[in-house]
Chain A
Amino acid sequence: MYDVPNTEINVEQRDIKISARKVQVYYGTTHAIKDVNCEIQDKTVTAFIGPSGCGKSTFLRCLNRMNDTIDICRVEGDITIDGEDIYDKRVDPVQLRAKVGMVFQKPNPFPKSIYDNVAYGPRIHGLARNKADLDVIVERSLRRAAIWDEVKDRLDAPGTGLSGGQQQRLCIARAVATEPEVLLMDEPCSALDPIATSQVEELIDELRQEYSVVIVTHSMQQAARVSQKTAFFHLGHLVEYGDTSKIFTNPVDSRTESYITGRIG
């Protein structure tokens, strides 16, 4: 039933990029994330799996403080990136989000041209000194997102006019254009067909060379295909976290086993 992970079984030990300790998230009175401890490695793809409503997206959004935009949401505990507490009062979430890029479940290009979509981040962060620099960044980002060949002749066309898969890759290009260190992906392939999905998955594998990628997915096959580390969430708890190969072949917790064999979730 499971695809054999296309990555090596033994993941070499890498630096810790993100470290979460005793993270609690409340939506009003609802306790959505309970006591999650988790260390995410650099230059690794980490997959969050689990049934709907288990808190994996919520936890993901904690990592770049996107939950700040929700009034009733409260986060407790420590989350550090490169040893710095991201919930420190001195941290500007805007700077944090430039460092931790995000790709959303639904492709959400700006209703602007393809070029402007990708150039927006570099523009507001001042990454390009001039138009030529910007052109270089846009081309490099679109190439990394494996969409350059499809759009190079129509960079002025609206980003919203692309197909769903192209839009999602455009959003990935937009996210990598700001040169983040961590890329968070919230079910990036849920709206895509299998071909677009495989393109995005290939892309994720390439992005691993430079970034730490965290991906939330409902597809266990996808988690098995693209990730080296997998975290299984259930009812707000991080039930099990470890090498993907181990989680899928020899889970420790019975709930993990039930989920990946299809008995719960």
Chain B
Amino acid sequence: MTDASMDTPTPRRKKISLVADDARTKKRNKAEKRFQAYGIGAIAIGLFFLLVLATSILRSGIPAFTTTVVSVEFTLQQEEFDEAEGQLFKTKAYSNYFISALQTTLTEKGIKVSFDEASIERVMGKIGSTLREHYSASPDTLGQPVDFSLGASSRVDGYFKGRVTREGLQDSRFLTLADLDLVDALAEAGIITTTFDWNFITGADSGVDNPGGAGIGASVVGSFFMMLVVLFLSLPIGVAASIYLEEFAPQNRWTDLVEVNISNLAAVPSIVFGILGLAVFIQFAHLPQSAPLVGGLVLTLMTLPTIIISTRASLKAVPPSIRDAALGVGASRMQSVFHHVLPLAMPGILTGTIIGLAQALGETAPLLLIGMVGFVARGYPDGFISGFIDPNSAMPAQIYTWAARADASFYEKAWGGIIILLIFLLTMNIIAIILRRRFERRW
């Protein structure tokens, strides 16, 4: 073979049997098997990590959806109210009424445990002021039994969720071992219970001192308004830009330049868009800080390249024969695009859009710079318009804020927030899939 002179006869294939593999075939088959094994291995590793991720999120996040509640039925008589209001330490007087009532209830149930005002405060917060606030606001409930549902303190909540144990507990001004006896007794009496925490889903963020009251609802609303801005800006702008570039623009150096720039923009770190948003939208245009409108604008800038690139790819994938057919019967270029090409490219455009939106939904870095992270979203916006311009937080920003706070139950809330974020994302994807199905056509 190496001697390629004209005299050497052309090498001929040896006669081989079809039932036995020759060396080459064996090698080829082995290579194919190896390749398939790599593939399966890669998928297995991927699935493993997905499983680890899902279990750790669920394990750490599920407790955030339950809360430990102290519910006590308490009756205050008119005379008692008058007497308490006449004293110097009014809330202390209320506390004393509550403690004696609680003592009576426990004794009736045959549970013996001793506690004082301080331990009650450690377990369920400042009960005296809660009672006083209630009766001052609605004096007509005096003399009637009222159900007080109070959130247990973060550490008591942790005790029920396994975060705090008797063994690991050191007496401190937050919780002592003796308090846990009281807690056990109250749990036995059915006064302390664990319930599903609707406040976590519907509520707003609380301050650092009240982890039990923190909810993600307000920032879900913030994210929702941001996504509205992103969707209604980036989809039309992105699709229009891609249609122009793909179907109308002449192929020259300028369009090449634009194309290269769009591809590069897709790879720009998101924090760069954040600082751009800070400079342009807040410092220059004086839009309100921490507002979903500004967040949405910044995320729109970030999402546009993704949408443009995927839209152009799906426009390119439409067979040119469809354009020819439309032009051939005398349709204008715009008619051929809007009547025929765009509907066929729609599934791809939707996929790109949803990928862009999902990316935007999970983005935290640019929000840091426009002030949506440090802000404590204490309430809901008043209406549709104020949803855009009132300061609010967004889900990933809220999660980031919680994860940075000291109290362990905020950490738990962060995991819970991740679950809500993923549910939001899944919902978005499902809507996209349904829309895709609707637009998908055979050809």
Contact = CB atoms under 8 A, between A and B. Distances in A.
Interface in B306-321: 319, 321
A216 to B, nearest CB: 14
Task: Tell me which of A69, A71, A95, A160 has the highest count of chain B C-beta atoms within 10 A of its own C-beta.
Answer: A69
A102 B329 CA distance: 7
Interface stretch (B177-185, B202-210, B332-340, B408-416): B332-340
A94 B322 contact: no
A71 B331 CA distance: 19
Interface in A60-113: 64, 66, 69, 71, 94-95, 97-98, 101-104, 106, 108-111
A160 B251 CA distance: 32
A121 B250 contact: no
A107 to B, nearest CB: 9
Contacts of B332: 94
Contacts of B324: 66, 69, 102, 104, 108
B232 to A, nearest CB: 29
Contact of B321 (A94, A108, A161, A175): A108
A110 B323 contact: no
A164 interface: no
Given A71-B250, A160-B442, A110 B328 contact: no
Q: Size range of the interface on B?
A: 20 to 34
Nearest to B319: A108
B363 to A, nearest CB: 37
B441 interface: yes
Contacts, number: 71
B163 to A, nearest CB: 58
Nearest to B251: A71
B330 interface: yes
A97 B442 contact: no
Contacts of A161: 442
B191 interface: no
A78 to B, nearest CB: 22
B329 A101 contact: yes
Contact of A108 (B322, B339, B442): B322
Interface string A36-73: 00000000000000000000000000001010010100
A225 interface: no
Nearest to B252: A71
A190 to B, nearest CB: 14
Contacts of A158: 441-442
Contacts of B335: 124
A124 B330 contact: yes
B443 interface: yes
B113 interface: no
Contacts of A125: 330
A98 B441 contact: no
B330 A98 contact: yes
Interface in B187-245: none
Contact of A110 (B251, B325, B327, B330): B325
B344 interface: yes
A204 to B, nearest CB: 17
A64 B442 CA distance: 29
B62 interface: no
Q: Which one of B250, B251, B442, B443 has the greatest number of beta carbons of chain A within 10 Å?
A: B443
B3 to A, nearest CB: 41
B93 to A, nearest CB: 80
A111 B328 CA distance: 16
Interface string A124-135: 110000000000
A177 B330 CA distance: 11
A102 B328 contact: yes
Nearest to B334: A94
A26 interface: no
A108 B325 contact: yes
Nearest to B329: A121
A234 interface: no
Contacts of B325: 104, 108-110, 171, 174
B403 interface: no
Contact of A178 (B330, B344, B443): B330
B338 to A, nearest CB: 11
B323 A120 contact: no
A178 B330 CA distance: 8
B330 A66 contact: no
Contact of A94 (B251, B331, B340, B441): B331
A198 B243 CA distance: 41
Interface of B: 250-251, 319, 321-332, 335, 339-340, 344, 441-443
17 contacts: A66-B324, A94-B331, A97-B327, A97-B329, A97-B330, A101-B328, A104-B328, A108-B325, A109-B325, A110-B322, A111-B322, A120-B331, A121-B329, A121-B331, A125-B330, A160-B443, A178-B329
